[in-house]
Amino acid sequence: MRQQTTPRHHAMRTLPLLLALAMGMTAATAAGGDAPAPDQRAAAAVAAMTLDEKIQTVFGYFSTDFKGTARPKDGVPFTAGFIAGVERLGIPHQQLTDAGMGVATQPSEQPRARTALPAGIATAASWNPALAYAGGAMIGQEARLSGHNVMLVGGVNLQREPRNGRNFEYAGEDPLLSGVMVGEAIRGVQSNHVVATVKHFAYNNQETGRTKVDVRIGDAAGRMSDLLAFQIAIERGDPGAVMCGYNLVNGFYACENDYLLNQVLKRDWGYKGYVMSDWGATHSTIPAALNGLDQQSGWPFDLSPYFNGALKEAVENGHVPPARLDDMARRILRAMYANGLMEHPVRVEPEKIDVAASAAVSQAAAEEGIVLLKNDKGLLPLTNTYTTIAIIGGHADVGVLSGGGSSQVYPAGGSPVPNEGPASFPGPTVYLPSSPLKALAARLHAKFVYHDGKDAAAAAKVAAGSDLAIVFATQWTAESLDQPDLSLPNRQDETIAAVAAAGKPTVVVLETGSPVTMPWLGAVDAVLAAWYPGSSGGEAIARVLTGEVDASGRLPATFPRSVAQLPRARVDGTGLPEAARFSTDYNIEGAAVGYKWFEKKGHQPLFAFGHGLSYTSFSYTGLSAKADGGAIAVRFKTANTGKRAGKAVPQVYVSKVGAGWEAPKRLGGWDKLALAPGQSGESRIGIDPRVLAVFDTRANQWRIAAGEYVVTLAEAADKPVATVKVRLPARAFAAGAR
């Protein structure tokens, strides 16, 4: 990567050579040539650092008053983290902010108002990597203008557990889809000279007992599922940092797990960035340092400042080799040099945020992430034929819901629904002031009547007096809390059933972080999954409902019919005392996560992975597939056969003929095409060889078995449209290759 030079040529004569190198200057750069590579600059900087400066670089503070400790004076207030820079070497402070939906604020009286993207799961539902990139670029810019140069964005934990309270921050259940979408978001963030942090490495897939749970999983199953999602996100996005999770993996804390950090991440994948701990996830000095943690985060979250004085002492006593401390500091500095943090210092200048431009980026992602699950009798898109429309529930008169916890982005003017949800973390429940009702009223000439939906009978009466009922059903999910089951909370199922029974056309708009069950499904005409749709969510929902844009989202996760279909009857650890340690066995499903589990078990889901209706129709022709350099090259044509412009999401699945895979099929690729009526487009998809392989732990290699493979073109995991067969030769390749 080319680096710009620092404008400090006058210092050249006085600085020692190493120091000059670290600051990006050589005789060549002083003369206007290229700066040395980040590796070289980081090595030079570390060589010029004192022991104390190195320790300072690997020890992070929470940048919020907490546990009686005042935030560091140079930290941006009420944010996630601060690490002091080394001025004499031109190393700036690291100013860390959450998270995936935008610039968050830790609990404070006056949270900063910033633009919220739709939830990560919503962006994933767009199946449009360009939108993930654009969203990342937007929030990365807002982070920079908020004074931050590190953003804790890149949540890619697989949705193994639909009850996980943080599913909204992630990108669904498939490693390829998740990895690509999150990798693109990371790339977008880093286009602003802001380091991104893929997280939470690894298997932090439930919130119940998140710091106590020991996840049991075999190496091969993990490499083909959760770890593959990280691997793809990392190679696509090249994040400067990886955040290790709270949980244990096979008996060891993720943040001192030699297997995860040293063997898989750094050795097999050749990762050159640094590993930072989650806040409160460091548990030791020597084991953590030796097993691959590079930076302790968020002091005073942990019990002890392990990477401060104790680490210095461990280095002085020889328990941690000085070379390892150098490696820790070098990795951090390398990420900073590689992303241009030295050349592009951040300033707090939020007045420069182009609020309208940010809102447009958020809205585009929300619109393409909304999934039309059901649309009977062509009720949607709504036409101007209704005299009275009942809008019921979900505070749809004033805004849209957002997910809770450290990723919370606050809107200008505060939540229009104050005092909802827990008073302290992960609360409060925040609504974003983008009203679906107002956005609909701006588009349809009808009388709108709002009812809060709390009393089912009263809501049904309002519906009965209208020509159309739109029920907004919400499920608030948040960091640190899992859902008890898959039902909508607060008896909303009763309200929906009662409204539907009023006999008027009924639409349900879901604002949820996870899949929910729908006992009323047969009684309603249309259902839209809008997730948490972000700062412009009301507009996005109205535009999809009225057909100003096509419904083009597709499910990035299976919607089960019931909890009985899941690998676990309940989330392990449920009901245990807070201090209890326990394990959860991911070997039950192994790599067969989500739709793979459903197909392997023969379970019929409520809505399959990849499902989503459009307002137009598509036809697919000319599917061909051929072996191509150890992978498969696929081609086909999609045509818009309907009367409206729309967006198709053709999906390519692969199956291996004969035994050997964890499940009948795997997603091998997809395309997203915008097509006018009558228009067609060609797709060329290269299937990632890892999706054709099985991981061989003994050889530490991927292996593609020689034989026949079926390539299926589909509109959803349960909706194949064409298949072809390909014969592949045997192939083995390294754990970090493809």
Note the residues at the interface with ligand NOJ (CB under 6 A).
Answer: 80, 98-99, 152, 199-200, 278-279, 406
Q: How far is the CB of 424 from ligand NOJ (least distance, A)?
A: 15
Q: How far is the CB of 298 from ligand NOJ (least distance, A)?
A: 6
For residues 201 and 598, which CB has a smaller minimum distance to ligand NOJ in the complex? 201
Residue 182: strand, helix, or coil: helix
| d(C-alpha 286, C-alpha 290), whole Å | 6
Q: How far is the CB of 200 from ligand NOJ (least distance, A)?
A: 6
Q: Which of 650, 574, 560 is nearest to 610 (CA)?
A: 650
Helix (H) or strand (E) holding 704: strand 701-704
Q: Which of 194, 107, 199, 115 is nearest to 151 (CA)?
A: 194
Bond prior to 70 in cis (omega within 30° of 0)? no
For residues 107 and 664, which CB has a smaller minimum distance to ligand NOJ in the complex? 107
Q: Which of 294, 231, 216 is nearest to 55 (CA)?
A: 294
According to DSSP, the β-strands at 371-375 and 431-432 are: unpaired
Torsion, Cα of 91, 97, 99, 105 (10° steps) = -170
**Alpha-helical segments (H) within 317-468:** 322-338, 355-369, 436-441, 456-464
Q: How far is the CB of 199 from ligand NOJ (least distance, A)?
A: 6
Structure tokens at 425: 């973390």
From residue 530, how far is each of 508, 544, 545, 638, 650 by CA, in Å? 10, 10, 11, 26, 21
For 203, left (φ over 0), alpha (ψ -120 to 50), or beta?
A: left
Q: How far is the CB of 164 from ligand NOJ (least distance, A)?
A: 12
Residue 123: strand, helix, or coil: helix
| d(C-alpha 15, C-alpha 454), whole Å | 70
For residues 78 and 337, which CB has a smaller minimum distance to ligand NOJ in the complex? 78
Q: Which of 239, 114, 264 is nearest to 184 (CA)?
A: 239
Cβ atoms of 19 and 44 within 8 Å: the answer is yes
Q: Which residues are catalytic?
A: 278
| d(C-alpha 64, C-alpha 384), whole Å | 51
Cβ atoms of 442 and 542 within 8 Å: the answer is yes
For residues 243 and 652, which CB has a smaller minimum distance to ligand NOJ in the complex? 243
Cβ atoms of 468 and 434 within 8 Å: the answer is no
Half-sphere exposure in the Cβ direction for 237 (13 Å, CA) = 40
User: In angstroms, how far is CA 184 from the centroid of its own chain?
Assistant: 10
For residues 301 and 559, which CB has a smaller minimum distance to ligand NOJ in the complex? 301
Sign of torsion over alpha carbons 72, 74, 75, 77: positive
DSSP for 489-541? Answer: STTHHHHHHHHHHTTS-EEEEEE-SS----TTGGG-SEEEE--S--TTHHHHH
Q: How far is the CB of 686 from ligand NOJ (least distance, A)?
A: 33
| d(C-alpha 364, C-alpha 537), whole Å | 10
For residues 98 and 238, which CB has a smaller minimum distance to ligand NOJ in the complex? 98
Cβ atoms of 82 and 61 within 8 Å: the answer is yes
Residue 363, number of CB atoms within 10 A of its CB: 23
Q: How far is the CB of 280 from ligand NOJ (least distance, A)?
A: 7
The residue assigned the tokens 């039309």 is 372
Q: How far is the CB of 278 from ligand NOJ (least distance, A)?
A: 5
| d(C-alpha 146, C-alpha 140), whole Å | 10
For residues 480 and 701, which CB has a smaller minimum distance to ligand NOJ in the complex? 480
Helix (H) or strand (E) holding 299: strand 296-299
For residues 303 and 657, which CB has a smaller minimum distance to ligand NOJ in the complex? 303
- Residue number of the CB closest to ligand NOJ reads 406
Q: How far is the CB of 279 from ligand NOJ (least distance, A)?
A: 4
Residue 286, number of CB atoms within 10 A of its CB: 15
| d(C-alpha 189, C-alpha 150), whole Å | 9
| d(C-alpha 165, C-alpha 161), whole Å | 9
- Which one-letter DSSP state was computed for residue 202? T
Residue 633: strand, helix, or coil: strand
For residues 154 and 436, which CB has a smaller minimum distance to ligand NOJ in the complex? 154
